[in-house]
Structure 1
Amino acid sequence: MSVRPDSPRARARASARRDGRSSGAADILLAAVLWGTAGPVFTLAPSSASPVSAASARIVLGGALLFSLVAFGARRADLLALLRQGRRAWVPLAVGAACGAVYQVTYLASVALTGVAVATVVSLGSAPAFAGLLSWGGLTRRWTVTTAGAVVGCALLMSGGEASGVDPGGVALALFCGFTYAAYTMLASRLIERGGDDQVVMGSIFGGAAALLLPVLLASSPGWLLDVRGAAVACYLGAVGTTLSYVLFARGLRTTPGATATTLSLAEPAVAALIGLVLLGEHLGGVALAGLGLLAASLVTLVWPARR
């Protein structure tokens, strides 16, 4: 029996889909807010904690916790069901884990070569474009316009009107960083769309990334983790900045396309800037404030439910 498009049942289904998309976008935005707190929290770590060591600790702790939640919890059966799919699941999970690990390393390497502002703008700003290319054919005019506005706003926010040195090698690494972020987001999104449990997919990807980054952590002088303050920072970065945030991110991917998710994640630098402005006594110039406003307006427009 077919359902008329203007019937109460059809309208209810359409409303449920719109509500699901709005809820998923809100989950992804909340995940980006938690990611945005990672940088300010890292400033509280002991001086002996290098960015490479902190990023590795974040993924090792957070990824191990994410994987433990699905391997030893109520979703163990879903994990086994996913793994029984064979290469159809193993290949995207393995590639996603490698991309998750490479994303962290290439971002820090690009920061070292070309500075925080340029590396952040290029990596985060290019990710939505790469995600759009990976999902070519499913893009909308609304996504294109809001993504362009968000990328420009992000660039204005991070540059703040200050001149930054640009290293070609650093820019290339930042572009590769943006590609790997978009790649593991799209891979996770497609596995979830094919019926995989969202937490199982994300836990498997970041469990693999944790295994890949464990040698990096051990080689990066992790003695700062034995300090009480260092341990507290690492626990926050792992449990909140990774585990909780990626649980929300994975749940959002149930109803939010991967290309849209990468655009929404541009809220991360905005949150970091606001924390620096309000809590850390930092200052933003007129250009940065304009970029912050443009970024916020673009993200709100993207999240706002579209009319039928």
Structure 2
Amino acid sequence: MLPALAVVAAAVLFGTTGTAQAVGPDGTTPLGVGAMRLVVGGVALAALGFAVAARRRRRTSTPPSPPLTRRAFGLMALTGVCLAAYQPLFFLGTERSGVAVGTVIALGSAPVLAGVLEWALTRRIPRRSWMAATACALVGVALLASAGTGGGAADPVGILGSLGAGAAFAVFANAQRRLMDDGWDPFTVAGAMGLGSAIAALPMLPFAPLGWLATPAGAVMTLWLGLATIALAYALFTWGLQGLTASTAATLTLAEPVTAALLGTLVLGERLGPPAVVGLVVLSAGLVLLALGSRSRAAARPFAVEG
């Protein structure tokens, strides 16, 4: 259960991002918030990931990293670029459609896209337990998205931004899984993604107004988004991914829209009607089903956990 719980914990942290932006200072933009989140969080994730990986090699029997081939370098660069692209797309979706709906569309699309991409890369059909849990979770996502919130209905630009964020998430989850299949330590993978995303964010800064960063609220928001929702969250996600398939990990991250919907209701006053409440319950049931499926497979095969 530990890999599944680590991914769910990461998803809960992810779920605070839209609310953090919404209660932040005036004058923020999706590009500016996303870029600063990446610069702070990417550098912190790189430092954390590389430090933990080095310590694991010194203190345990962890094998040395494989050679840095073109394939490995390309996959590491891809994770950083996709994480960088995810930020402004995600914040665009939540800004235009509301925190709950934007998050639901982004993360609701990620498991399906991750499963399809994983099948295309490996020709391995996802397990029936994943299909059942994902179908259950997506029914909940559909109920949430169709219900709307007091924050406004989803508009075409917001939907496209959220779908783009879901696609970026699916790609970097599969790229990380490929790197770990090749023998790379998960914390090295996380560190490389953080470093790559911070570098990719630098060209965004000249085009983003950052005056809000000088305010106390702006500084607090940036530190939370960078340290908690990037460095800590993606370290947990990548560590959990070593014991799960990319499709399973993406489905477990549907705990994020549950968190976002609850925060949107409790903190931002976005009203969720009865269909949305039912959607939250159905979505949560799908996550529990998937986590229990991971646990039962781990018990049957104690030396390997698969999604």
TM-score band, normalised by the shorter chain? Answer: 0.7 to 0.9
Are 1:284 and 2:272 an aligned pair?
Answer: yes
Q: Distance in 1 between matches of 2:242 and 2:187?
A: 10
Structure 2 equivalent of residue 262 of structure 1: 250
Structure 2 equivalent of residue 148 of structure 1: 135
1:284 Cα deviation after fit = 1.9
Q: Distance in 1 between matches of 2:221 and 2:54?
A: 29
Structure 2 equivalent of residue 12 of structure 1: none
- SS at the partner of 1:88? helix
1:282 Cα deviation after fit = 4.1
Q: Distance in 1 between matches of 2:296 and 2:53?
A: 36
Structure 1 letter corresponding to 2:35 = S
Give 5+ residue unaligned stretches, structure 2: 58-63, 301-307
- SS at the partner of 2:244? coil
Structure index of larger Rg = 1
Pick from 23, 27, 36 the counterpart of residue 44 of structure 1: 23
Give 5+ residue unaligned stretches, structure 1: 1-21
Q: Distance in 2 between matches of 1:296 and 1:262?
A: 14
Structure 1 letter corresponding to 2:68 = Q
Q: Render the CA deviation track for 1:252-282: whole Å, top value 9, x for unaligned.
A: 0111111001011111111112123334444
1:217 Cα deviation after fit = 2.7
8 Å Cα contact 1:156/1:291 also seen in 2: yes
Identity %: 38
Structure 2 letter corresponding to 1:258 = A
Is the alpha carbon distance of 1:183 and 1:260 closer, same or farther for their aligned partners in structure 2, counting shifts above 3 Å? same
Q: Distance in 1 between matches of 2:241 and 2:284?
A: 21
Q: What is the TM-score when the length of structure 2 is the normalising length?
A: 0.83
Q: What is the TM-score when the length of structure 1 is the normalising length?
A: 0.82
Are 1:217 and 2:205 an aligned pair?
Answer: yes
8 Å Cα contact 1:157/1:270 also seen in 2: no
| 1:198-277 equivalences in 2 (<5 Å) | 198-277=186-265
Q: Distance in 2 between matches of 1:65 and 1:83?
A: 24
1:87 Cα deviation after fit = 0.7
Structure 1 letter corresponding to 2:296 = A
8 Å Cα contact 2:107/2:166 also seen in 1: yes
Is the alpha carbon distance of 1:200 and 1:257 closer, same or farther for their aligned partners in structure 2, counting shifts above 3 Å? same
Structure 2 equivalent of residue 158 of structure 1: 145
- SS at the partner of 2:233? helix
Alignment length (residue pairs)? 284
1:116 Cα deviation after fit = 5.8
1:186 Cα deviation after fit = 0.8
Structure 2 letter corresponding to 1:150 = A
Pick from 106, 116, 129 the counterpart of residue 123 of structure 1: 106
